[in-house]
Amino acid sequence: MSLDFTVAIPTYNGASRLPAILDRLKTQVQVDQIAWEIIIVDNNSKDDTAKVVQEYQANWPEAFPLKYYFEAEQGAAFARVRAVQEAQAELIGFIDDDNLPAPDWVSAAYSFGQEHPKAGAYGGQIHGDYEVAPPENFRRIQSFLAIRERGSKPHLYDPENLSLPPAAAVVVRKSVWYNHVPSRPKLSGKVRGSMVQGDDYEPLLYMYRAGWEIWYNPAMHTHHQIPHWRLERDYLMSLVRGSSLCICDLRMINAKSWQKPIVFTKILLGSTRRTLLHVLKYRGKIKTDLIAACEMEFFLGSLLSPFYFLNKTLKSKTTALRDP
C-alpha cells in the first residue's frame, strides 16, 4: 500500500533512546488525514534495540504501523539506504534516535513537501537540549552537533558552499533519491575507528546536481538530546576533525573532471589562509579556548581533506586493479 509519509529512524545501540522518540511519535497531532508509518532501521546494534521495538509493537496503534528492519552493514549511510528501500511513502522523514520531534513535526513535514514539489530534500529547526550548559561562545560551533536555527522564514540552502540540512532531521523524496543517488555511498558515516562524516550531505549534493532544490522549513521543530560527554574536548575535537576531512570528497561530487584540480587547489589555499588568520587572531589562546581550538581543528582538517581524498582514490583504484 502506498502511503503519504514515512518516518525513518536509523539507530545503533538505541535501546535507551528509542522510547523517548517513539512516545513523541505516538502522540503526533494533525495527522488524521495523513497515511503514514514509522520504520526503525537497526544498524547492527549490540544491545536490546530489537527487544525494545518489539515491546512497543505489541501495543502500537494500527493507524500508523511501526516496522523494524535490521541492517548489518555498519554506518549511518547504509542504514539510510535501507530505509529508502523499505519506505512505503514518497516523502521520507529521517530522524536520529536522539532527536525528539515536536508534536506537529509529521504534519509540518508532510505539508511542506506538498507545497514545494521541486524540493528534493528539506530540513527544519533543530534545537539543542543540553544535559549541561555548553561552553561560552558555543554557538560558533553548534552546527557540528546538527543544531540548525536559521530564522522563521523558509529559504533555500546553498549546496554550492556546503550549506545543507543535517540528516538528524531531514525529509527526502524517495523517487529523487532512487533516480539520482548512487546505490552505494562513498561516505559511510561514523563507525568504529573512524569519525569521518559527510554521509548526510552526500545524497543531498547528488539531488542538487540533478536540479532539485534543498530547503529550510522553519515549521519543523526537533530537539537534539546532547549528553554532557558530547561537550567534552576530546569528543568535540574528534567530531570537528571528522566533519572537515570530508570537505574535499563533498566538493568533488558536483565538480566536473576539468574542475577537480581547481577545487583541490582552492581548498588548499583557502584552508591555509583561514588557518594562518586564526592563529594570528587567537595566538596562545587556542590551547585554552575550546571553541577556538575546535575552529582550528576544522581549518586543519579542511587543509588535509584533499590529501585524504587522494589517498582514498588511490586505494580504491589499487583495489580495483587487484580484484577486477
Residue 237 in domain: no
Inside any domain, residue 75: yes
Is 314 found in the same domain as 189? Answer: no
CA distance from start to end of the chain: 41
pLDDT reading at 131 higher than 90:
yes
Cβ atoms 9, 106 nearer than 8 A: no
The boundaries of the domain holding residue 40 are 3-231
Summarize pLDDT for 144-196 with one digit per residue, the tens.
999 999 999 999 999 999 999 999 999 999 999 999 999 998 886 664 555 67
The verdict on 17 and 128 lying in the same domain is yes
How many CB atoms lie under 10 A from the CB of residue 232?
Answer: 12
- Indicate the helix (H) or strand (E) that contains 51: helix 49-57
In a domain, 246, yes or no: no
Asked whether the predicted pLDDT for residue 324 surpasses 70, the reply is: no
280 located within any domain: yes
Domain count along the chain: 2
Q: Specify whether the CB–CB gap between 250 and 198 falls below 8 A.
A: yes
- Classify residue 245: in a domain, yes or no: no
Evaluate whether residue 290 is within a structural domain: yes
Residue 1 has pLDDT above 60, yes or no: no
Distance between CA atoms of residues 169 and 269, nearest Å: 33
> Using the 8-state DSSP alphabet, how is residue 133 labeled?
P
pLDDT in tens, 292-307: 999 999 999 999 999 9
224 with 282, same domain?
no
Residue type, 42: D
Q: Does 281 reside within a domain?
A: yes
Domain shared by 135 and 199, yes or no: yes
Report the CATH number at residue 195: 3.90.550.10
pLDDT-derived band at 89, boundaries 50, 70, 90: very high
Same domain for 275 and 159: no
* pLDDT confidence tier of residue 284, bands split at 50, 70 and 90: confident
pLDDT at residue 195 in the model: 65
Select from 231, 261, 293 the last residue of a domain: 231
At 314, the pLDDT band (50, 70, 90 cuts) reads confident
Please say whether the beta carbons of 111 and 207 come within 8 A: no
Q: Give the count of beta carbons closer than 10 Å to the beta carbon of residue 89.
A: 23
According to the model, what pLDDT value does residue 321 have? 62
Name the average pLDDT for the chain.
94
Classified as helix, coil or strand, 95 is strand
The rounded distance, in Å, linking the Cα atoms of 219 and 154 is: 8
Per-residue pLDDT at 110 exceeds 70? yes
Shared domain check, 205 and 148: yes
In this prediction, residues 53-62 reach a mean pLDDT of 95
- Report pLDDT for 37: 98
> How far apart, in whole angstroms, are the C-alpha atoms of residue 4 and residue 21?
20
